[in-house]
Structure 1
Amino acid sequence: MTSPTITDVDLLIVGAGPTGLYAAYYAGFRELTTAVVDSLPEAGGQVTAMYPEKMIYDVAGFPAVRGRDLVQALVEQADRWQPTYLLGRRAHALTEEGGAFVVGLDGGVAVRAKAVLITAGIGEFTPRPLPAGDGWVGRGMVHFVPELEVHRGQDVVVVGGGDSAFDWALALHPIARSVTIVHRRARFRAMPATVREVEGLGVPIITDAEVSAFHGEPDLAAVTVTAKAGGARRLPAQAVVAALGFTADLGPIESWGLEIAHRSIAVDSTMRTARDRVYAAGDVAAYSGKVKLIATGFGEAATAVNNIAVALDPAAHLFPGHSSGD
């Protein structure tokens, strides 16, 4: 049996989303060598995979920033310290050898690290299904929009009532021929300010209703929307964005001896998990009062890395000073 190729670092970061990328920068600032692993082929995690063209409004210092631009800036920031990227590789078993962790990856590769920081977002995600859309993926139905231009001049129906549904409506409104939101409830989970902005654009919002049928051959041309109270209408649609959320699976990480509940990893105030020298930050980390924002993940990454630095070298200071200092 061929021995795996081993990469030796101080810190292994599992997840190359915004939190993981900022952790790579901050670990370099603390003079830790790092490797960043992600099952996706590009850095950026869910931002790159699901909404690279969408504008993000709640990152400090950016009145608005496109997803792909935020990722590019984070990669450039981390590049100062030359982290090792192992992308398109899933992390498997976590073992301990000689006081270090060894994590096996796809392709006969392994990483040996003194500490591990899990920033894997929601893990491996599966879109929640739209029953009427079975068989229509690739023929007009999508779950997210990597390229807005694909939908220029189209009639687009967005299904859902959360932030993603309303964000897609805002992003598509300037380029689509028409955008309509359909939601099965009368109340929305989206931020009220975003709902008001969409309403102010005159985007039709159909509530207490569902997309009950797709029509077209071979590609989508129209949908039927059926109200719970009865009655149906047919809408032109060359695209349906099923923004219904995702079910998550942490995959092999669930077998790493951590405290896991509701597909999240329990951490303390230092971001340490139930296993010594294994930390978590970002959406995957759970504690009382947690607010899942990209900005929150940045702060958690810095907290985790500073505590990791002390865990690896008890003589180190928890607070290293500001990066703007002399």
Structure 2
Amino acid sequence: MSVPTDAPVVMETEVLVIGAGPAGLYGAYYAGFRGLRTVVLDVLPQVGGQVSAMYPEKPILDIAGFPAVKGRNLVDNLLAQANQYKPTYLLGRRAVALVHDGEGRPVVHTDRGEAIRAEAVVITGGIGTFTPRPLPAGEAYLGRGLVYFVPDPDEHTGRDVVIVGGGDSAFDWAAALAPIARSVRLVHRRDRFRAHRASIEHVRDLGIEIIVNAEVTALRGEGDVEAAEVRLRDGAVRVLQAQTVVAALGFTADLGPMEEWGLHLHARHITVDTRMATNLPRVFAAGDITDYPGKVRLISVGFGEAATAVNNAATVIDPRAVLFPGHSTEKDT
């Protein structure tokens, strides 16, 4: 995508975090903890990254200190933690270009024509560009009953819901919506699923109808969705009443415009050193998007990487700053 890299700067900050997933939110908290003004930029319209988009109701079992925590609750807590320091959120914007000004500071340009100049950038986008695979039969109804995410199940209370897909997200959302929706049906083009077996059995135990070897070929309705047309493999057609259709067909993941920024990459991930520094001046990275020998892609690892990136960024922003600022328990409360 071609963007004008000489656009006037519309915002200045000390730390720009690109990516509002768990690592990005923790990075925003830690930057605030260090007294740094912070802006958080994300292409999605809500914070939480993959957690909010794909499994907000699913228990996460490998977060330190929590035997189990729902994705939604984890994101809410991370947001509350970060918001103590009042970061600025720029959501629904894609970072499309990164250049350095005459003084070596990074300037990031968005797809809205904005330019954000920072003293340091921390890239935490878990999988770079995060785009849902479309439901071709119903794109005209996007936002009018057709959705790709279910960040708040309560919005679908009392509705007839059709979920399209066979992965973890499809089954997690089916289970989350079953207690509050009028009806839930799941449609998948095959009779085998990508979801975990326990999730599949849970949905079956809830009595949710699973229609296999079938595809949604059209959505119907005057204005908003009123029904989904489903074609079975034998050619038969079923019309399912629906006011919500959730297209859980997976997501395409790539670095998008970041591939053109001059970052050193390995297997479509950004290579970093032990400081979480990239090859570009004043640009750091943390979380799933990074790569180095021995890398383990866990949310818990991303938290530590975000803290490492921010602490090292702090010493670049102010060479007089110490790398380790002390423990939070030593701070005044």
Range class of TM-score, shorter chain: 0.7 to 0.9
C-alpha displacement of 1:250: 3.8
d(CA) in 1 for partners of 2:114, 2:159: 45
Alignment of 1:54-203 (within 5 A): 54-58=56-60, 59-62=63-66, 63-65=68-70, 67=72, 69-87=73-91, 90-91=94-95, 92-105=97-110, 106=112, 109-113=115-119, 115-203=120-208
**Structure 1 unaligned spans of 5+:** none
C-alpha displacement of 1:57: 1.6
Q: Which amino acid aligns with 1:44?
A: V
In structure 1, the residue matched to 2:3 is none
Comparing 218-227 and 163-172, the one that deviates more: 218-227
In structure 2, the residue matched to 1:246 is 251
The answer to whether the 8 Å contact 1:160/1:244 transfers is: yes
Any idea what SS the aligned residue of 2:158 has? coil
d(CA) in 2 for partners of 1:143, 1:89: 18
Q: Does 1:18 align with 2:9?
A: no
TM-score by length of 2: 0.77
d(CA) in 2 for partners of 1:191, 1:272: 36
d(CA) in 2 for partners of 1:290, 1:204: 41
Any idea what SS the aligned residue of 1:299 has? helix
In structure 2, the residue matched to 1:213 is 217
d(CA) in 2 for partners of 1:93, 1:110: 10
d(CA) in 2 for partners of 1:317, 1:14: 24
Q: Which amino acid aligns with 1:266?
A: T
Instruction: Note closer, same or farther for the CA distance 1:234–1:32 as it changes in structure 2 (3 Å cut).
Output: same
d(CA) in 1 for partners of 2:36, 2:219: 54
Aligned length: 318
Over the matched positions of the two proteins, sequence identity in percent amounts to: 50
C-alpha displacement of 1:310: 5.4
Q: Which amino acid aligns with 2:290?
A: A
C-alpha displacement of 1:321: 4.8
TM-score by length of 1: 0.79
For residues 119-174 of structure 1, the C-alpha deviation after alignment (integer angstroms, 9 at most, x for no partner) is 12334433212233343434543212244234333332211122211111111111
C-alpha displacement of 1:242: 0.8
Instruction: Note closer, same or farther for the CA distance 1:159–1:320 as it changes in structure 2 (3 Å cut).
Output: same
Any idea what SS the aligned residue of 2:270 has? strand
Q: Which amino acid aligns with 1:143?
A: Y
Q: Which amino acid aligns with 1:78?
A: A
Any idea what SS the aligned residue of 2:149 has? coil
The answer to whether the 8 Å contact 1:38/1:86 transfers is: yes
Any idea what SS the aligned residue of 2:173 has? helix
Any idea what SS the aligned residue of 1:184 has? coil
Alignment of 1:301-316 (within 5 A): 301-309=306-314
Any idea what SS the aligned residue of 2:329 has? coil
Q: Which amino acid aligns with 2:227?
A: A
The answer to whether the 8 Å contact 2:107/2:115 transfers is: no
Q: Which amino acid aligns with 1:17?
A: G
**Structure 2 unaligned spans of 5+:** 1-5
C-alpha displacement of 1:117: 0.7
In structure 2, the residue matched to 1:323 is 328
In structure 2, the residue matched to 1:46 is 49
The answer to whether the 8 Å contact 1:270/1:303 transfers is: yes
C-alpha displacement of 1:51: 6.5
The answer to whether the 8 Å contact 2:31/2:38 transfers is: no
Question: Which of the numbers 263, 279, 284 marks the counterpart of 1:258?
Answer: 263
Any idea what SS the aligned residue of 1:303 has? helix
Point out 4+ residue stretches in structure 1 off by more than 6 angstroms: 313-317
Instruction: Note closer, same or farther for the CA distance 1:306–1:181 as it changes in structure 2 (3 Å cut).
Output: same
Q: Which amino acid aligns with 1:285?
A: T
d(CA) in 2 for partners of 1:139, 1:253: 32
Instruction: Note closer, same or farther for the CA distance 1:77–1:179 as it changes in structure 2 (3 Å cut).
Output: same
d(CA) in 2 for partners of 1:226, 1:16: 40
C-alpha displacement of 1:231: 5.1
